Each structure stands twice: as structure tokens, then as C-alpha cells.
Amino acid sequence: MASPYPDGDREKVASKLPSALQQALKVRAAELSVDIQDAVEAAVNDWRGSTSSGAEVDTSGAKSFSTWLPPGLYEQFKETCTDRGISYTQGLAQSIRDWLDANPSPQHGARGTDPERKIVGNQKGGVGKTAISAGIGEAYAEAGKRVLVVDFDPQGHLSEQLGVPQIEPNHDSLVSHMCGEGRGDLRDLVVEIDDPRYQKRLHVLPACFDGFLLDAKIAVVATQKRGFQKEAALELALRPLEADYDVIIVDCPPSLGIAMDAALYYGRRRRGEPAGVSGVIIPVLAEDSSATAYGMLAQQIEDLCEDLSLDMDYLGLVVNLYDSRRGYVATSSLDNWKSLGDPKVLAIIGDLKEQREAVRKRMPLLTYAPHSDQAEAMRQVARGATR
């Protein structure tokens, strides 16, 4: 391969880098109008100039990565890796990660403190809302974004799957803050997922058993407090946390009630926010009952938008637990979902074992099986649901 740089200005370097970091580097360089080679050069120089190698990056499954660096820089980089007792792949991964952290996306800065808000919902249970909420949260965090996943379903499956205890009744919780009864800082309830893959960027707001009474509690508050807008209750509770995150994901219960209205309101397009940044992700199955539930949710969204003059974006559908061996019902249903066009199908996730095994072990899917088809599908959904 001929060098694109004349007069020996640069030399080709062949190494390895995790696919998530490769993707994040490509996107960030494009956002900042920086050549990828220049970004890698800056990353390596800054890393070599730091006093230590920093936190370890999970490089399992790293893939081939080629770039062009000034002559001699890669040899100097390898010497630094040897001095610090780490592999060249680990050193490059740390360099790129640190560069991404030091050069944040201008998309976040342009929106001030408004994070991207992804509402994962469907009126049918068992379609994989929880698995997809957790999976895309892991994918965003893996790619360098600060993520809060809100377990908004009182059944608490997301909290349980990630090994996070639910909040007991009559304790400070998201529900109490939504009802104006919060006794402390909601940040104190947030749990960090302790896993080096996410570099302290993946947080969970646990479910609480009081959530089963949320609709009734909010209805009572609405009658007692003049000017209280029940649909805005979730937003009022989460607003103080927003500056801490790039993405907030809400795992919703299968509900037609006030709680779902509040989640949808939270995911509306805010004033000045570009279309397609925040909105609704809808997991479905390739079967008729999912189509019925989708119609119910679409009607709820339409009614809410009409009543409150909102703009709501459908970020896409995720066809989950798909297995073509189930025959005509599955294949024809998949064709029907694809034919909608808008919302688009973000990914088709097979009915595979890794997600179930991760749940049994109470581990994030992208930690348990980072190179599985299901894990890659979660990354695909996250990419597709981001403008």
C-alpha cells in the first residue's frame, strides 16, 4: 500500500484496538473535523507525556487497526509501553481513551446540559425492554459517554439483572422525588457499575417497590398541588442529574398510565433540540401481539403530543428474540416491521443464549459476552438511535 504522505512524512503503523474505541475515534474525529492520523498522533504524544499509564482498558477481542504516524513516534511509543510494563495494544487503547475523554463531542456541548434521552417502551411485556435498555447503556458507556440507566419499572428487572438492589418501600426513591417528597439528593441513590470496561461512566438509578403505586400517588399530588403537571414529574425529578450525563435511558413498564406519560414527556424534543437526538426506542417481537401493543403505544404518543402540543421522535424499532425457524409468522412479521420504514428497524436481535446467561450471572451483557452477536446488536442500536 502506497503512503498517502509524501517525502516520508509519516510511516504506516499496524496495531490492534477494540472495535468500540475504533468507532468512537472515527466519530469524534469527524465531529471535530480532525484527521484520524492527527488524533492518534496527539493521543500517543499526550499519553507518553503523562506521568502514568492510567486505568487499564479491556482490550479482549481487539481488532486490526492501521494508521500513519511521524517517523520514529511508534518506536518511542513502544519503548514507553515497555517501561510501563504493558502491551502495545493496551498502551494504544489507553491513549485513544484518554484523547476521547479530553476531546468531548461538540454535540453535547451545543445542547448545554441537556443529555440525550432514550425512552425504551412498549405496552407488551416480555419483548426485551430491560435487556435493550441495559445493553445500549453499556454500549454508550463503552464508547465513552456518561450514562444513567433509570429502572422505571417497579418489577425491577433491570436492577436485578445488573446486581443492583431495589430500594425498599418508604425510603427515598425516584418515586418520592417525582411526588415532591424527596428527602435527600437523588444522586445519592445512583449506583455505579463497577466494571473497568465502562470506566466509571455507567450508572443505574434503581427501581423501588413503591413504583407500583406511582400512578395513584401522582394523581393525588396533582389534586393537592395547584399547578402540578403530572406528565412533567419524571423530568422534574431527573433535571438536577442531567448535567452529569451525556445519555439518560429510561426502562419503562408496560403501562398505559401516568407513569408512561411521564416517561414519554421526558423523551420529547425540547426547544432548540435537533430532531432524532431524544425520543422513543420500541422493542418488539416478530409476532402479531407485538403489533397490537405497538399500535397502543403509538396511539398513546399521538394523544399525548396532541394534548400537550409536543414533538416526539421515534428513534426506531428493535426486533428482539428473532428466530426464523419459527416459520411464517416470524418471517412475515419481520417483513411487516421492516416495511414500516418510519420508525426504522435499528437491529434484529436473535434468540441466543448469551443474554440469558448474563442475566443469570447478574452481569452486563457487554462484560459477559462482549464479542457476541447480541452485544454487537446493542452497539448497533446505540449507534442507530443517535443522530
The pLDDT of residue 46 is 92
Write phi, then psi, for 97 (nearest 5 degrees): -60, -45
Compare 139 and 352 and report the one with higher pLDDT: 139
What is the pLDDT averaged over residues 181-210? 92
The pLDDT of residue 215 is 85
Residues 6 or more apart in contact with residue 115 via CB below 8 angstroms = 108, 148, 242, 245, 246, 247, 248
The pLDDT of residue 34 is 84
Cα–Cα dist 278/260, whole Å: 16
Per-residue pLDDT for 225 more than 70?
yes
Across 10-19, 224-233, 245-254, the highest mean pLDDT is recorded for: 245-254
Q: Which amino acid is at 62?
A: A
What is the pLDDT averaged over residues 260-275? 93
Compare 82 and 332 and report the one with higher pLDDT: 82
What does pTM read for this prediction? 0.73
Q: Under DSSP, is residue 287 helix (H, G, I), strand (E, B) or coil?
A: coil
Which range among 96-110, 224-238, 279-293 shows the weakest confidence by mean pLDDT?
96-110
Give me the domains of the chain, ranges plus CATH numbers. 9-102 (1.10.1220), 112-384 (3.40.50.300)
Per-residue pLDDT for 315 more than 60?
yes
The pLDDT of residue 150 is 97
The pLDDT of residue 205 is 97
Compare 328 and 284 and report the one with higher pLDDT: 284
Write phi, then psi, for 279 (nearest 5 degrees): 155, -155
- Cell 465531529 belongs to 31
Share of the chain above pLDDT 70, in %: 95
For 67-125, what is each residue's pLDDT tens digit? 999 999 999 999 999 999 999 999 999 999 889 888 887 755 444 568 999 999 988 77
Residues 6 or more apart in contact with residue 201 via CB below 8 angstroms = 141, 144, 145, 146, 147
Per-residue pLDDT for 16 more than 50?
yes
The pLDDT of residue 1 is 40
Per-residue pLDDT for 3 more than 50?
no
What is the pLDDT averaged over residues 29-34? 79
Per-residue pLDDT for 169 more than 80?
yes
The pLDDT of residue 8 is 56
Whole-number Cα distances in Å, 188 to 152, 172, 173, 213, 345: 17, 10, 10, 22, 37
Q: Which amino acid is at 94?
A: Q
Per-residue pLDDT for 160 more than 70?
yes
The pLDDT of residue 384 is 86
The pLDDT of residue 107 is 58
Question: Which pLDDT band, with edges at 50, 70 and 90, does 387 fall under?
Answer: low
Compare 1 and 245 and report the one with higher pLDDT: 245
What is the pLDDT averaged over residues 43-66? 83
